[in-house]
A and B are shown apart, each in its own frame.
Chain A
Amino acid sequence: MGAGVRTLIPILASDSASAEVCSFIFNGLLKYDKDLKLKGDLAESWEIKDGGRTLIFHLRRRVKWQDGVEFSAQDVIFTYQKLVDPRVPTPYSGDFKRISAIKALDKYTVEVKYTHPFAPALASWTMSIIPKHLLEDKDLSKLRFWENPIGTGPYELVRWKHQQLIELRANKNYFEYPPFIERVIFRIIPDSATLFLEVLSQAVDNASLTPLQYVVNAKSALFRKNFLKFRLPSHSFIYLGYNLENPLFSDKKVRRALNFAVDKKEIVKSIYHSQALVSNGPFTPQSWAYSESLKPASYSLEKARRLLEEAGWQDRDGDGILEKEGKKFRFTITTNQGSFLRQKIAEIIQHQLKKVGIGVDIKVVEWSVFIERVINQRNFDAVLLGWSLSFDPDLYDIFYSKKTAPGEFNFVGYNNPEVDKLLLAGRRTFDREKRKAIYTQVARLIYEDQPYMFIAVPYSLSCLHRRFRGVKPARSGYFYNFIDWWVEKQERKYMF
């Protein structure tokens, strides 16, 4: 892992390292299976009633917390109470605020009522459940740091050396069955070059790779002898978001022209070493709402020039930059510091837009300042950013026309009444096929409107030591069946 784990209280974990380790120690009521479909975890089954206003979860029986106490409906209710408690600094209360009532019908049945039918609710119950008997008398606003986390999951904590490593051991009483791999150690290695050398020296078994490492460095015989490499579309996309209040971008023709003028294939090839896909809209191929029928616009300087001319932009003074009503077409792309890839992408866009007579400046701003001054105050022409979205395809927070207050996420100011209507319908519809049809329509409309220039979906690249057996890569990656993995006796490296 690149960054240290901050907390092992899952409802407080907002960074990916913490969330990853928490997923080994805790369980949610539901989880995503290998095909990214929801399936029962601590809940054996569930029912959707009242047209989606009521969810009933039937919990697994005889599940024990790692300290031996039995898991029950009370833990679920406790977790909910902490999620909506104003004194608990959790970033996840949003979806749970919509719950109007929650109660235990018996020890193993929980009934959750919502004010309105809310389709993403089901996915929100993948949230890890925390033990009531251990945290009840603790003040979670103060105790954000829990030295001995106890969950229901397949692994339990052995030691936690801050900024160095976390060691987990198999939970012998795990409710499915104990995992075969006895110990899991997460090491914190912040530098990606160092990480790759650790891989080569076989001190690390599983690591993420940069595109360059995946394509070039992984060719070495030393690497291939010991490691398998894996590639999967990530759940994120890179985009150029326009400030739609800026008169430069208020015309849809101009935005479409820009989309034609930027060769995304070039970006994918030169920046990602071909380890990315050209993005076709707000969904990634990993999402069930993704539609293959939507094709990204192809690169065409001709179409771009024609559209710009139709929109009234022409180079009258012959300086290579278009103008309209005496104003030159010049804007600034702002992106965050610390992402080398994004800065390079901005440079390619700059270079390519110059060909159609558009001048681009690039500004790089430190992350915290970027959020506060650039995004929240809508102080930008265009921002180059990425979204890493949850598995549920709800895009309400990002594209709904009213989500534009400072600190909300429609910071480009997108407003399409038809999309609004569909987004609301998508939240009320539980049937996956019907929902998919809605979101295909949403994606089509948004791609046509181009509030964002959708650029690329990077692959997530990683490697795994060959001595692990039972690894079966699927749509959701290859960690979903981790408890089934094993290592042959003669290949075991660590003895405990």
Chain B
Amino acid sequence: MLRFIIRRLFNIVFLLVGISLVSFLVIHLSPGSPLGGVVFNPKVSLEVKAKLTKIYGLDKPLIQQYLDWLRRIVRFDFGVSLLDGRRVIDKIKERIPLTLFINLISLFIIFLIALPLGIIGALKKGSGLDRAITVFVFVGFSFPSFWLALLLMQTLAVHWQIVPVSGLVSVDFPYYSWAGKVWDLARHLVLPIFVSTFGALAGISRYVREEMHTALSSKFIILARAKGLPQRLILLRHALRNALLPVITILGLSVPGLLGGSVIFETIFSLPGMGRLFYEGVMARDYPLIMGLLVIGAVLTLLGNLLADIGYALADPRIRYEAEEK
């Protein structure tokens, strides 16, 4: 097992170098430059452009720039953003908590609601209730999130003034008590979390419904029924466990997504998340920032895969043996 993990870790390092090289080349070779936004101003002379190019190190050969970047990154130095001169790592660090928090909470709520919906759908497949649930989750799935968000803001925030329109906290947040702060944060996050949850119910509840239905019609459930086990036990212990396996795989795959934000969503709600950071970085060709985000994303994805593989290996002896034979 240890050898398996070590070998995988070794692979990951090579993969990372490869990923970073390809990303670096792609973003540098794509047209446009970090100067684009700064210099389209008649007051900016040609000399200034040459000067900025030099300061940003963009005049060096591409491979030299990559090696410089690599040399820094092995010391965990992500460099400095070209846009505002702040350290890339600081810019990323301040965005992570919010993005992670919103994603975790919505993931939790999605499962909390989608699981029962899926189970009910499977148990009563084809019934009026099943169809009502289907309509409900697909309505959520089909609503454009920005439109739903604006509609909710208009009614809940402008007309009824129950929640604030957008933003993360109120402007006088630092002057609140501890409980006031929690309450303020909660009020601000209600709408964003509702919008991101509502749209995602369909996927998970459909998976659960299908898997549960397959499980319920399999032979071991018929046996359990014949044995006279109570319905609750059949459902929760035997059917659901089997039905959840693929769902847990989906959960595992969503781990790297926990740090990925959504541009539209964050823009509508004026939230400072990872999505906007990445989008702004790309639009401004802020190379160090883009590279930093890509590397972190790659590391998370690879680690997520590794964890999933280890999990499988622990759970399923067949995978473990295959790995060791190779």
Q: Which residues of A contact B (CB under 8 A)?
A: 6-7, 12, 14-15, 86-87, 89-95, 97, 141-145, 159, 161-165, 167, 185, 187-191, 193-194, 197-198, 200-201, 203, 222, 366-373, 375, 387, 389-390, 397-398, 405, 407-409, 494, 496
The answer to whether the Cβ of B276 comes within 8 Å of any Cβ in the partner chain is yes
Within the assembled complex, what's the spacing in Å between the Cα atoms of A95 and B85? Answer: 24
**CB distance A187 to B36 under 8 Å?**
no
**CB distance B36 to A201 under 8 Å?**
no
CB distance from A42 to the nearest CB of B (A): 21
B34-45 toward A: CB 8 Å interface, digit per residue (1/0)?
001111111111
Supposing A6-B84, A144-B85, A372-B32 touch, asked if A91 and B48 sit within 8 A by C-beta, the answer is yes
Within the assembled complex, what's the spacing in Å between the Cα atoms of A6 and B286? Answer: 13
CB distance from B55 to the nearest CB of A (A): 5
Choose from A7, A15, A368 the contact partner of B285 (Cβ within 8 Å): A368
> How many residues on chain B are close to A (CB under 8 Å)?
54
Interface contacts beyond A145-B86, A372-B32: sample of 17 additional A-B pairs, CB < 8 Å, sorted by A: A7-B85, A86-B51, A93-B45, A93-B47, A94-B48, A142-B80, A164-B168, A189-B166, A197-B153, A197-B157, A197-B165, A203-B164, A366-B32, A367-B37, A367-B283, A373-B31, A409-B42
List chain A residues, Cβ under 8 A from B153.
194, 197
Q: Which of B244-252, B263-271, B300-308 forms part of the interface with chain A?
A: B263-271
List chain B residues, Cβ under 8 A from A200.
158
Within the assembled complex, what's the spacing in Å between the Cα atoms of A9 and B202? Answer: 49
**CB distance B33 to A368 under 8 Å?**
yes
Within the assembled complex, what's the spacing in Å between the Cα atoms of A473 and B87? Answer: 41
The 4 closest A-B pairs by CB, nearest first: A144-B85, A368-B32, A368-B36, A397-B42
The answer to whether the Cβ of B167 comes within 8 Å of any Cβ in the partner chain is yes
List chain B residues, Cβ under 8 A from A6.
83-84
Within the assembled complex, what's the spacing in Å between the Cα atoms of A87 and B166? Answer: 40
24 of the cross-chain contacts (CB-CB < 8 Å) are A92-B44, A93-B47, A93-B48, A94-B43, A94-B45, A145-B84, A161-B272, A163-B276, A163-B277, A187-B167, A190-B267, A190-B276, A191-B270, A194-B268, A194-B269, A197-B150, A197-B165, A368-B283, A389-B42, A397-B42, A409-B42, A494-B171, A496-B172, A496-B175
List chain A residues, Cβ under 8 A from B158.
197, 200-201, 222
Choose from A86, A90, A397, A494 the contact partner of B172 (Cβ within 8 Å): A494
CB contact list, B4-23 vs A, under 8 A = none
- For B164, the closest partner residue in chain A by CB is A203
List chain B residues, Cβ under 8 A from A409.
42
- For A190, the closest partner residue in chain B by CB is B267
Choose from A143, A369, A405 the contact partner of B31 (Cβ within 8 Å): A369
CB distance from B89 to the nearest CB of A (A): 13
- For A370, the closest partner residue in chain B by CB is B36
Supposing A159-B174, A187-B167 touch, asked if A398 and B42 sit within 8 A by C-beta, the answer is yes
Within the assembled complex, what's the spacing in Å between the Cα atoms of A42 and B144? Answer: 52
List chain B residues, Cβ under 8 A from A370.
36
**CB distance A89 to B36 under 8 Å?**
no
**CB distance A191 to B38 under 8 Å?**
no
List chain A residues, Cβ under 8 A from B120.
none
**CB distance A97 to B45 under 8 Å?**
yes
List chain B residues, Cβ under 8 A from A189.
166-167, 270
The answer to whether the Cβ of B94 comes within 8 Å of any Cβ in the partner chain is yes
- For A13, the closest partner residue in chain B by CB is B84
Choose from B31, B43, B47, B85 the contact partner of A372 (Cβ within 8 Å): B31
The answer to whether the Cβ of B91 comes within 8 Å of any Cβ in the partner chain is yes
CB distance from B181 to the nearest CB of A (A): 14
List chain B residues, Cβ under 8 A from A89.
51-52, 55-56
**CB distance B32 to A407 under 8 Å?**
no
Supposing A91-B48, A407-B39 touch, asked if A187 and B171 sit within 8 A by C-beta, the answer is yes
- For B94, the closest partner residue in chain A by CB is A162
List chain B residues, Cβ under 8 A from A398.
42
The answer to whether the Cβ of B71 comes within 8 Å of any Cβ in the partner chain is no
The answer to whether the Cβ of B26 comes within 8 Å of any Cβ in the partner chain is no
Within the assembled complex, what's the spacing in Å between the Cα atoms of A95 and B80? Answer: 28
CB distance from A351 to the nearest CB of B (A): 28
CB distance from A138 to the nearest CB of B (A): 12
- For B163, the closest partner residue in chain A by CB is A201
Supposing A6-B84, A89-B51, A191-B267 touch, asked if A407 and B46 sit within 8 A by C-beta, the answer is yes
**CB distance A145 to B33 under 8 Å?**
no
List chain A residues, Cβ under 8 A from B36.
367-372
**CB distance B285 to A190 under 8 Å?**
no
List chain B residues, Cβ under 8 A from A185.
171
List chain A residues, Cβ under 8 A from B161.
201
List chain B residues, Cβ under 8 A from A92.
43-44
Supposing A389-B42, A398-B42 touch, asked if A407 and B47 sit within 8 A by C-beta, the answer is no
The answer to whether the Cβ of B214 comes within 8 Å of any Cβ in the partner chain is no
The answer to whether the Cβ of B49 comes within 8 Å of any Cβ in the partner chain is yes
The answer to whether the Cβ of B218 comes within 8 Å of any Cβ in the partner chain is no
**CB distance B172 to A198 under 8 Å?**
no
**CB distance A193 to B150 under 8 Å?**
yes
The listed residue with most B CB atoms (<10 A of its CB), out of A86, A87, A496, is A86
- For B55, the closest partner residue in chain A by CB is A89
List chain A residues, Cβ under 8 A from B40.
371, 375
CB distance from A294 to the nearest CB of B (A): 22
- For A7, the closest partner residue in chain B by CB is B84
List chain B residues, Cβ under 8 A from A408.
46
- For B86, the closest partner residue in chain A by CB is A145
- For B172, the closest partner residue in chain A by CB is A494
Choose from A145, A187, A390, A494 the contact partner of B85 (Cβ within 8 Å): A145
The listed residue with most B CB atoms (<10 A of its CB), out of A15, A93, A197, A372, is A197
Within the assembled complex, what's the spacing in Å between the Cα atoms of A191 and B55? Answer: 33
CB distance from B54 to the nearest CB of A (A): 8
The listed residue with most A CB atoms (<10 A of its CB), out of B86, B154, B167, B276, is B167
Within the assembled complex, what's the spacing in Å between the Cα atoms of A390 and B174? Answer: 38
Within the assembled complex, what's the spacing in Å between the Cα atoms of A203 and B277? Answer: 25
Within the assembled complex, what's the spacing in Å between the Cα atoms of A366 and B30? Answer: 12
List chain A residues, Cβ under 8 A from B31.
368-369, 372-373
List chain B residues, Cβ under 8 A from A143.
85
Choose from B49, B56, B272 the contact partner of A163 (Cβ within 8 Å): B272
Within the assembled complex, what's the spacing in Å between the Cα atoms of A445 and B284? Answer: 37
Within the assembled complex, what's the spacing in Å between the Cα atoms of A409 and B167? Answer: 39
Within the assembled complex, what's the spacing in Å between the Cα atoms of A4 and B91? Answer: 13
CB distance from B142 to the nearest CB of A (A): 20
**CB distance B270 to A190 under 8 Å?**
yes
CB distance from A212 to the nearest CB of B (A): 14
**CB distance A167 to B157 under 8 Å?**
no
List chain B residues, Cβ under 8 A from A15.
37
CB distance from B275 to the nearest CB of A (A): 11
List chain A residues, Cβ under 8 A from B84.
6-7, 144-145
CB distance from A363 to the nearest CB of B (A): 14
CB contact list, B255-312 vs A, under 8 A = 267-270, 272, 276-277, 283-285
List chain B residues, Cβ under 8 A from A188.
270, 272
